[in-house]
Amino acid sequence: MKSVSSLYTASMVGKEFRILVNGHDRLDGYLSGLTEGKIAVRFKSDDESLIGNFVNVKIVKSSDFSAEGEIC
């Protein structure tokens, strides 16, 4: 049985969210941030100037407590 969290993050796939970029992700070449609903999102980028700013990200993959996206 899927948890409520994994069902919610799965429902995010294909949608665009505005996230606040808060730093580097644990994966090299990725930054991460949070949606307004405090869901962690990682996306591929080396652009450190995005840290501290809002970006729009389309979610392409989800896991139980986070999501992965692409900058729009």
pTM: 0.89
> Domain range holding 23?
4-71
How is residue 39 annotated by DSSP? -
pLDDT tens column, 42-67: 999 999 999 999 999 999 999 888 99
From the list 13, 18, 2, 60, the residue with the least C-alpha distance to 44 is 60
CA angle in degrees (0–180, nearest 5) for 57-4-58: 10
Report the CATH number that the domain containing residue 60 is assigned in CATH. 2.40.50.140
Question: Quick check: 24 and 64 in contact, CB under 8 A?
Answer: no
How many domains, the chain? 1
Percent of the chain past pLDDT 70, that is, above it, reads 97
Two structure tokens written together for 31: 């930054």
| pLDDT exceeds cutoff 60 at 32 | yes
Amino acid at 26: R
